[in-house]
Amino acid sequence: MSRSAHPAGPRHADVLPEGHYTAPPADLNSLDPRVWAQTVERTPEGAVAVGGLDVRRLAEEFGTPAYVMDETDFRARCRAWRDAFGPDADVYYAGKAFLSRAVVRWLHEEGLNLDVCSGGELATALDAGMPAERIALHGNNKSDEEIERAVEAGVGRIVLDSFQEIARVAHTAARLGRRQPVQIRVTVGVEAHTHEFIATAHEDQKFGLALAGGGSSSEAGEGPAAEAVRRVLMLDSLELTGIHSHIGSQIFDMAGFEVSARRVVGLLTRIRDEHGVELPEIDLGGGLGIAYTPEDDPREPHEIAKALGDIVTRECEAAGLAVPRLSVEPGRAIAGPTAFTLYEVGTLKELEGLRTYVSVDGGMSDNIRTALYDAEYSVALVSRASAAEPMLSRVVGKHCESGDIVVRDAFLPADLAPGDLLAVPATGAYCRSMASNYNHALRPPVVAVRDGQARTIVRRETEEDLLRLDVG
């Protein structure tokens, strides 16, 4: 949300300092379609439904907190990305956003590829039936076991992240009698406009091999990336299929991709001139932003596809290169908007002259992003409609941390009461993936809803699950 002076009208408005909030909406019962999944709507009775199912029924059947995923929306977003880029490009869903066997099956059925970055994600992909040739393996420190499993399974590509990894993958592939397709991840010196912890293309971080040497990003091809190319081309057990770049996450500005593409094309030009090889693919990664609040303004897949295609074509034509195949890796942009987290209100504490603290039955164990990234979310009362005045609120969890905040500043109805249901939209990406057992909390289930039917695709943890691992 934008930072603006607190408007007149809501409770506590006369003394509250400037903060993370905007003016209250004209209608607290409205559901902005930019933030909510496509089948979410408020029913004539006042409650919210998704996929035709009332959230009160979902809470009764599956409990709270719970991640509720709109399967129709997820599949539609997969098709939108696939259709936007067309047959001359590859779309890899970034599994780190959220992965389960059901999601793998949806991806397979909708024609997307899958990017994984751990042995566990690879195991899930293979177990759910994703063809290995449609899987890419990422990671900055892949274990020998992860590399061997990927090569043995025949994954479509391994993205190399270090000189040591070049040797490990080459050795494993040679021992198994394989020629493994690989790409080299490069850092292009782009400072993406995003949080420090999710910017991934500046030189001073753990990912990739720098294009430039000596700490300068002004000249592509002078640094470790060019040396990595030389080493890979010398190894018979590796097939270099392209260059990979990823500049960050939750990005709305395409300017960083333009700089990245220009510098990657500079490396491709040097590879052609020095080695006589024109690589067939560029992967520009993912990181495209979504709307967490109505103030966010993400681009549609067809706009992104056109912008990236134009950038790559223009840079390659200027360099005299054949235009390579383009790959992208949306994760958050597909999964993020498709789910909301359903909570029950437990306690309310009104701090006179400040705000009301609304405690729910989840918290930082099911959504760490607010505490970790200062992420901002929307929230709505979903078990009923309300005509009460707006109340400036902070939605917090039940953990023993003052930083256990779900939504830092939001307007909720002043008649909010224990037992009401709240929903936080746009939690389909990273929330379940990054969930923890802090305070021995039980991680919530993921419930998929489609055409009036709901089913658990990741079950709720139980106390037995926790105790089973405690062998002391």
Q: So where are the chain's domains?
A: 41-70+337-469, 138-330
Q: Which tens digit of pLDDT belongs to each residue from 83-131? A: 999 999 999 999 999 999 999 999 999 999 999 999 999 999 999 999 9
Q: How far is residue 347's CA from residue 359's CA, in Å, rounded to a whole number?
A: 5
* CATH class label, 138-330: alpha beta
The pLDDT score that the predictor gives to residue 258 is 86
Confidence of residue 206 (pLDDT cuts 50, 70, 90): confident
Asked which of 1-10, 25-34, 98-107, 312-321 is least confident by mean pLDDT, the reply is 1-10
Q: CA-CA-CA-CA torsion for 373, 377, 381, 383, nearest 10 degrees?
A: -80
Q: What is the pLDDT of residue 201?
A: 43
Q: Supply 318's token pair.
A: 């200027």
Query: Which range has the worst mean pLDDT, 220-229, 241-250, 425-434?
Result: 220-229
Q: Kindly report, residue by residue over 131-147, the tens digit of the pLDDT.
A: 999 999 999 999 999 99
Report the pLDDT value the prediction gives residue 254, as an integer from 0 to 100.
Answer: 82
Confidence check: pLDDT of 440 > 90: yes
Closest alpha carbon to 343 in 326, 329, 364 = 364
- The whole-angstrom distance between residue 267's C-alpha and the CA centroid of its chain comes to 28
Q: Could you tell me the pLDDT band of residue 22, with boundaries at 50, 70 and 90?
A: low
Q: How confident is the model at residue 401 (pLDDT cuts 50, 70, 90)?
A: very high
- Alpha-carbon distance of 103 to 105, in angstroms, equals 5
- Note whether 287 and 248 are within 8 A (CB): yes
d(CA 351, CA 283): 51
First to last CA, the chain: 46
What is the assigned CATH class of domain 41-70+337-469? mainly beta
Answer whether residue 265 shows pLDDT above 80.
yes
**Known catalytic residues?**
400
Buried b (16+ CB within 10 A) or exposed e, 339-365: bbbbbbbeebeeeeeebbebbbbbbbb
Residues 324, 280 contacting (CB under 8 angstroms): yes
In this predicted structure, what is the pLDDT of residue 357? Answer: 98
pLDDT at 14: 39
HEC string of 69-109? EEHHHHHHHHHHHHHHHCCCEEEEEECCCCCCHHHHHHHHH
Judge whether 41-70+337-469 and 138-330 match in fold.
no
Residue 417 has pLDDT above 90, yes or no: yes
Length of the chain: 472
Q: What is the pLDDT of residue 215?
A: 43
Query: Are 381 and 413 a contacting pair, CB within 8 Å?
Result: yes
